[in-house]
Structure 1
Amino acid sequence: MTPRDASENDRDHSSSRWSDLERPPLNAAALRRGLVREGGLWSDVDVVQRTGSTNSDLVDRAAAGTAGEGAVLVAEEQTAGRGRLDRQWSAPARSGLFFSVLLKPAEVPVARWGWLPLLTGVAVAAGLARAAGVDTALKWPNDLLVKVGGEERKAGGILLERAGEGGVVIGVGINVTLRAQELPVPTAGSLALAGAVSTDRDTLLRGVLRSLEDWYGRWRAAGGDAGLCGLQEAYAAGCATLGRTVRAELPGDRAVVGEAVAVDGDGRLVLATGEGVREPVGAGDIVHLRPAE
């Protein structure tokens, strides 16, 4: 997810729901009507104006028994959003989609749950392609990339956290209308800067959640077998990391440099090193993944 230090100016600016007419609020009632249905995955859609972290809030709700599988929590503004390794990030109110979902894939072996962030990436990319007309590539393991001026930019990210016994919360952050002067770093981007045909966040959220419901259903029906349900192939097709020489920085000051040649059946990135060794790297082990110098 894209880090950004929110200024007091941003907080003051977001005090009114209509303070920025180019960034209208989400329509919670319409989202519930469009997504919550009998027999469907999504059981509730709750939109809050501001929170620290939708992931933390939904984990707490799951622990308290006030949220079940398919609960969706969306924030118009996050003030303490987190990426991997507790990296902090925030963004202007209503400039993006900041949401978390609670899933309970009881019929899938826990060993295969590592595919869930990758599955979410595939679903988000497919949903945005249809709803925003933007090609979104995936940087293993959890970044969403768009092209801005011919350059790859990070427009969002995904974070998975365990939620008690048998549950996981998956958080998604997507920069939708972030402007050039609001970018936290030159390598950040947004759907608007990538030329999206639509930045209507209601439409985008519905498209992403419907895509996620579809992919989650396929994966769950296959018992979490990413090859059998087509997820492994779909992820590889959209993964911008494959075919590039990268440096994987691991705990203990260890690093592996090699060409990213595959994503294996466990969702690990396989690096072909200069010594002719193929070394798989798990998302839980990675500290940084960067282009090799």
Structure 2
Amino acid sequence: MKVITYKLSLVMFLLVAVTAGCKKEYDNIEVEDEKNIQEYIQKNGLNMQVYDTTGIYYQVTKMGTGSPIDYTQQLPVVYTVKSLDGVYSSQDTILNHYANYFGYYSPASLRDLMKDVLKNQGGSIRIILPSRKAYGRGGNTSLGIPGNASLDFTVSILEKSKLPAYEDQMIKKYLGTDLPNYTKSEDGIYYKISEAGTGKEIRTDSTVTVNYSGSFMNGTVFDSYEGYSSQVDGFINAWKKILPLLKEGGSVKFVTPSSSAYGLQGSSSIPAFSPLGFDVKVTKVGQ
């Protein structure tokens, strides 16, 4: 009986010791997060305030004036993020887009703060997220974020109704000084025909062979191919609208808003609401 009592006492002692150790470790993480954040704020001369008792710091850079932020809506979001120690950084606002349902946006602590503080679409905010509220000890290997990394976010929640104007500005910036040489279609597609072509006409049911390249608005080529063949009907809408302006042998450069490309959500390889630039040479037209 004494042996059983002794064993139970030992088990209880070990449980208390483990629990105390975990509590101490959690407290240490909380203290370390706060220390790192305060040093970062002071070093960068930031003017931020803490959100309740969460240890999350934020600064509203622009209040939203659009419709209320709603978890059940698909909202276009542009963001940058970096770890406070500089080990991880993702600053490209051309590629860092999100447009799924806002309720799926993660980390959840970031999403909830934005809804509570910004309240309306069209706002921008800077948020410092302590590691325990971000991806914790494990980090996020798929994104390349190390463990125990506190993160500095800048986030803009765009008004969905103003997205066409936002993308149009992106396209104009991309074209730069060459903008006057482009014609703008009713659909917001900018195009410049280098060669009209002298061969067969192109219809939407034509099969064409093309050499092409496609670029994001930061100049990165995301796809290129020589001798690609398809029916015009099989292309994205921008191609269906622009290719019939050419004949066989023709060449064209065009930049399309996402509405005539891969839409609000993008695709597996195309970021959400991405305008795209194309350089196309039609080498053959079959009927």
Normalised to the residue count of structure 1, the TM-score between the two structures is 0.31
Normalised to the residue count of structure 2, the TM-score between the two structures is 0.31
